[in-house]
Amino acid sequence: MAATDTHRTVDAIFRIEQAKLIAGLARIVRDVGLAEELAQDALVAALEQWPKSGIPDKPGAWLMAAAKHRAIDRLRRRKLIERKHDELSRELEAEGEAGEPDLDAALDDHIGDDLLRLIFTACHPVLPADARVALTLRLIGGLTTEEIARAFLVPEPTVAQRIVRAKRTLTEKRIPFEVPRGAEIEQRLASVLAVIYLIFNEGYSATAGDDWMRPQLCEEALRLCRILAALAPDEPEVHGLMALMEIQASRLNARTGPCGEPILLLDQDRARWDRLLIRRGLAALERAEACAKDQGQEPGPYALQAAIAACHARARTGEETDWARIVALYGALAELMPSPVVQLNRAVALAMLSGPAAGLELIDTLTVEPALRTYHLLPSVRGDLLQKLGRLDEARAEFERAAQLTRNERERKLLLARSADCASN
């Protein structure tokens, strides 16, 4: 194999193994930033040695062993705790005596716990939301700083600074590398799920830029949630979020036209929806509901949103959608998680069930909400209902206002086209 081919293979292997390496190393050195540096050192060693020696049979175990050797070197250079140095030395000596299979075991023995610890650490509430997203995508998603910057349309130095500051904060605040216990786990789990869903939503409907969607982010969020679901199989809301994202992701291929233009839900060709993802989503929803029932709980916010998505997924056409159930589910969601955005979505469903006037009546109560003052979907939805009621001048003004508020070029063009359509009729 040519050296360039080997380098590509090394890069591919490292992408697969990176999260497990960092998680295992962070358990040992108790420092996420140092763990990432050690993993990178192991990558450099592999790039130097594998073109000469060939790809080892167990590349993940090789990388972990190389990283542990470098951990000892760094600990010695920095004159850290002698006990930790001896502990790592004994571990490596035992692995050397037992041979390669035990190296592989050393990589895998704690992998579930280690990955779970890493996810909870990267999403710790002590970090700002944007830092949690960047650090999660870097450490667990394996994305480069350049890829994260491109996905969120921010300068690469900005992303790099967020990651550096996040790792420094975790070190300075002495955040323990552990899965929280007791009452703390609910808050921390909510933070983890919020980060994953934020990543997914940015991929599903990009905040800014020339593309309406960024599917890579949806895929990363799905992958992260699948890892979390495997590591926390009894948490209802983990499965609820999994269900929600699987069902929403099933529509990705139908959400844009040939030139990348947006296609709204009721206009989509449902034959293009991914039935496998829908089946997986419905199965995850059943699991979420079953877990909640076993624990004596009502469905949580993600499970309720997944149930709404399931109503769309089960309908063969927009007309067959169970809008009455969707209105009821949004009502339950509003009680559990009061939010003007939830009420806005409920108004859309109410308009489909009882007519645009009923939806507009609810929406008009939301126009004074400070949280929606710059939210482009409020005038967008209001414009849609006004258009259906024949109030075209008002609708045109609402679409134009929505176009001014959005930072996504594809969405702006769609809204301006709808405004022009009102003017021409």
User: What is the domain-level CATH number for residue 147?
Assistant: 1.10.10.10
Residue 128 domain-assigned? Answer: yes
CA torsion, points 361, 262, 320, 275, in degrees to nearest 10? -140
The pLDDT of residue 82: 54
Tokens in use for 125?
A: 């509430």
Residues 119 and 172 grouped into a single domain:
yes
- CA pseudo-torsion sign 340, 345, 347, 348: positive
d(CA 151, CA 108): 32
d(CA 253, CA 266): 14
CA 267 from centroid of its chain's CA atoms: 26
Q: Are 398 and 380 in contact (CB under 8 A)?
A: yes
Query: Which distant-in-sequence residues (6+ apart) come within 8 Å of 131 by Cβ?
Result: 162, 163, 165, 166, 169
Tokens in use for 33?
A: 């930033």
CB-neighbour burial class of residue 156 (10 A; exposed 0-12, middle 13-18, buried 19+): middle
- Tell me how far CA of residue 289 lies from CA of 189, 278, 331, in angstroms: 18, 16, 18
pLDDT < 50 stretches in the chain = 80, 97-111
Residues 103 and 13 grouped into a single domain:
yes
The pLDDT of residue 157: 94
Residue 23 domain-assigned? Answer: yes
- Residues 79-93 have pLDDT tens digits of 545 555 566 666 666
Looking at 175, 192, 209, which one is the last position of a domain?
Answer: 209
The pLDDT of residue 103: 36
Backbone Cα Rg of the chain: 25
Looking at 156, 187, 209, which one is the last position of a domain?
Answer: 209
The neighbouring-strand residues paired with 209 are: 408
Q: Are 148 and 159 in contact (CB under 8 A)?
A: yes
Residue 238 domain-assigned? Answer: no
Residue 320 domain-assigned? Answer: no
Q: Are 382 and 360 in contact (CB under 8 A)?
A: yes
Q: Which domain holds residue 90?
A: 3-109
d(CA 380, CA 228): 35
The pLDDT of residue 334: 96
Greatest CA separation for the chain: 82
Residues 118 and 85 grouped into a single domain:
no
Residue 281 domain-assigned? Answer: no
Residues 29 and 100 grouped into a single domain:
yes
d(CA 206, CA 193): 19
Residues 171 and 128 grouped into a single domain:
yes
Residues 96 and 21 grouped into a single domain:
yes
Residues 9 and 67 grouped into a single domain:
yes
The pLDDT of residue 95: 53
d(CA 306, CA 15): 31
The pLDDT of residue 104: 40
d(CA 202, CA 141): 15
Residue 331 domain-assigned? Answer: no
The pLDDT of residue 112: 58
Query: Which distant-in-sequence residues (6+ apart) come within 8 Å of 262 by Cβ?
Result: 212, 255, 256, 410, 411, 414
The pLDDT of residue 79: 56
Looking at 175, 209, 243, which one is the last position of a domain?
Answer: 209
Residue 10 domain-assigned? Answer: yes
The pLDDT of residue 31: 86
The neighbouring-strand residues paired with 262 are: 256
The tally of domains found in the chain comes to: 2
Residue 381 domain-assigned? Answer: no
The neighbouring-strand residues paired with 408 are: 209
The pLDDT of residue 377: 95
The neighbouring-strand residues paired with 407 are: 208
